[in-house]
Amino acid sequence: MHININTMEFYMHTKIYSEALYGIEGIPIVIEVNISEGLPKFDVVGLPDQAVNEAKERVIAAINNSDRFFPPKRITINLAPADLKKTGSMYDLPFALGILSSSAQVFFSDFMDKTIILGELALDGSVREVKGIFSMLLNAKELGITNAIIPFNNMEEANIIDGINLYPVKTLKEAIDAIEGKKAPIVSEGKFNFNSEENDNIDFSDVKGQEYAKRAAMIAAAGGHNFIMIGSPGCGKTLIAKRIPTILPPLTFEEALEVTKIYSSYGLLSKNMPIVKKRPFRIPHHTSSYVSLVGGGRNIKAGEITLAHNGVLFLDEFVEFQSSALQTLREPMEEKTITISRANGSISFPANFTLIAAMNPCPCGYYGDEKHTCRCSDIARKKYIAKLSGPILDRIDISIEVRAVEYAKMTSKADGESSASMRKTVVEARKKQEKRFKDNGLKIFSNSSMGIKETEKFCILDDKARNLLNMAMERFSMSARSYNKILKVSRTIADLDDKDIIGADHVTEALQYRFNLN
């Protein structure tokens, strides 16, 4: 503490606890505020970005407009650890409270030793919501923090985490009241409405014909298999893909928290949706950049493949995406994570998605179509198909050709199988898989997630099925990865059939879903 004898002004060193976002994870931050004599100056050190540096003007105005005064002294704020880049506007509120404490306008108690403060300030002293509250409070709780002063508009999201004394504030004045014990906390209980069943406006019964494609879609949903449809324009590829979310099993509570952490970090939650209840379904446009699809940028951010975690990533016009982005999908499709490296470090993001892709068979779209003539040369078509590398196709479990529906079926008034019926079958098959893996001490939930050892252990074939698969391997010169993919799809088909042993009919059907583009 420094005391100016002439003016009897008191200046103290203040320490405040806060959090930073590193990817989608919360990281503890210590904010140190020091006020000393000298020419008026306001410095922020500790690798702040532009948004943090701009906090100075917001903090000065907010303090002056909250019936307090901004001390015209030399003010230094340090953000520790100093080697971690600090981004965003979430430090405005702790900056202001730290300055008020160091200038003896607010007095901290031992209460602050177990408290984190987060919030952006407006010029009038009001507190605005920030991104990533869920992730940051989750990390703070794990580190023993028991109190949190947060923006009022982040309350619903923060209340998901139980056992924290929450002080939701609308203004800087309310934050001061919380610190001085004039505002009662709200104890979070982790209570919220987690009802993952929501009505959809679309249904598989809308799809006329296409029984083969719908069967393939159901297998993909049941086993979490990557799935590609090849067909001419207007044959129903997109129609089918957009209905796959309606037959997916509901999110488990643990899966919902994982997705919520991601969406919280990017400000995609709302007061009406503080927790993600439905499996994500992301549809990036084929003109999307590499960074928007995979992730990256100067301040590393997750891409669409992470936003599709525990859900579906639908890539329409598959081969029109940047080749570099498609090639990068190889790692997350296998490892279920994506690691983005930069000069100042690397961040790993979860990316356990099911890939659903759709594409035309050639540039004009009508190769093999019975009613339209293809205008593409062999060279043009081969060049078009070559955009899909062998390693990418090897990682796709199910590939089918989708043909146009006959007019009679298209105009039929009879409804196809409903999404509710298909989903019931899918959920039963998924439960069978989850029990199988849980009984063997494995933390995987679908057949597509099996490794080589699990595939050998759980994909048991009878003699006819084994002989059939061996013949297919020799005849079509399939890779070892293709062999494992066929086994996994066969396992899912057997689960849908409620069979423990994979039979020849299951293998036969699985082989039908290996359409050769060439």
Query: Does residue 432 belong to any structural domain of this protein?
Result: no
CA 52/CA 44 separation, integer angstroms: 8
| CA torsion angle 351 305 311 196 (round to 10) | 100
CA 203/CA 206 separation, integer angstroms: 6
CA 258/CA 175 separation, integer angstroms: 30
Residues 91, 179 share a domain = yes
Residues 181, 78 share a domain = yes
pLDDT at 64: 97
Output the CA torsion sign for 284, 288, 290, 291.
Answer: negative
**Tokens 């520790």 identify what position?**
80
Residues 470, 321 share a domain = no
**Tokens 């001061």 identify what position?**
176
Range of the domain at 148: 2-187
Q: Among candidates 63, 147, 76, which has minimal Cα distance to 105? A: 63
CATH number of residue 126's parent domain: 3.30.230.10
pLDDT at 2: 47
pLDDT at 319: 92
Residues 332, 233 share a domain = yes
Residues 239, 177 share a domain = no
CA 99/CA 113 separation, integer angstroms: 17
Query: Does residue 439 belong to any structural domain of this protein?
Result: no
CATH number of residue 455's parent domain: 1.10.8.60
Residues 237, 127 share a domain = no
Which residues of the chain are under the pLDDT cut of 70?
Answer: 1-11, 191-199, 343-344, 407-414, 517-518
Residue 46 tokens read as 């500790």
> At 506, is the secondary structure helix, strand, or coil?
helix
Give me the DSSP letters along 193-249: --------S--GGGS-S-HHHHHHHHHHHHHT--EEEEE-TTSSHHHHHTTGGGGSP
Environment class of residue 95 by beta-carbon count within 10 Å: exposed (0-12), middle (13-18) or buried (19+)? buried
Query: Does residue 518 belong to any structural domain of this protein?
Result: no
Query: Does residue 436 belong to any structural domain of this protein?
Result: no
pLDDT at 407: 64
The pTM assigned to this predicted structure is 0.89
Query: Does residue 360 belong to any structural domain of this protein?
Result: yes
CA 113/CA 143 separation, integer angstroms: 12
Q: What total number of domains does the chain contain?
A: 3
**Tokens 């203040």 identify what position?**
14
**pLDDT > 90 fraction of the chain, expressed in percent and rounded:** 69
Angle between helices 480-496 and 419-439 (to 10 degrees): 110
